[in-house]
Amino acid sequence: MTGRIGLLGGTFDPIHCGHIDVAAAAERALGLARVDFVTAHLPPHRNAPIASAFHRFAMVALAVAPHQGWRASDLELRSPEPSYTAATLAHVHGLGFAPADIVFVIGADAFAEIATWYDYPRVLDAAHFAVVSRPGFPVAAMRDRVPQLAARMTDRADAATDRGTWIFLIDARTADVSATAIRGRLAAGESIAGMVPPGVQQHIERHGLYSTDSSRGEARDAATLPAAGRLHGQD
């Protein structure tokens, strides 16, 4: 493969249109050869996911299916350890990708907390970071929000890489939606149309995810589901 690959990590509980917009903006701005959506197993900075790993991965697969060059990755789901970005990037290096070949894609709201990440600031040397605007977090404010990293930030997609890895600032309009808001609407019995890709909405409704009568993201006990309605790993 030639060109840089993008990695977009997240709990994806559930994946939503904001995630899709962030990935598309980074892909356009940086000409990424592909984008891998990496579903976290145990996110170190968030509470434990509501939906099971099986459902979260299935929703990611449904969301990326219409997009050529986008893939659902189970890299972090295959590890019992907390899903640290530093460990994920180290694994990708082991596959033969140099730091300059990798772009870690992230919303500006999440990047504002980068100083709290494991192995900071060295994690920034393991890949380029593409920081995309989110509602309330324009990338124009990133140099003020994270001043210690301002010298590494650039608005130029063609910035030279001989000086190491960059933090690319990408200004784009992304959907004003969050997984928390989606779960709240579902618990209240309200529609989430337009907040998630259609296939994801269908999956959530089919399995009763996040509804008040579901347990850990399961609508019914797996044993009561017909075989066609079970996901891999349910018995």
pLDDT tens per residue across span 199-228: 999 999 999 999 876 444 443 333 333 333
Mean pLDDT of the chain: 89
Domain ranges of the chain: 5-170, 185-220
Measured distance CA(187)–CA(183) in Å, rounded = 6
Enter the pTM of the model.
Answer: 0.89
Assign 15 to helix, strand or coil.
coil
- Identify which of 221, 213, 220, 218 has the alpha carbon closest to the alpha carbon of residue 187: 213
Q: Tell me if the bond preceding 66 is cis, omega within 30° of 0.
A: no
Report pLDDT for 219. Answer: 37
> Which whole number is the average pLDDT over 70-97?
95
Report pLDDT for 46. Answer: 74
Does 235 score more than 50 pLDDT?
Answer: no
String of b and e for 184-200 (b: at least 16 CB within 10 Å)?
A: eebeeeeebeebbbebb
Report pLDDT for 217. Answer: 40
Report pLDDT for 234. Answer: 39
Q: Please give the CATH superfamily to which domain 5-170 belongs.
A: HUPs (3.40.50.620)
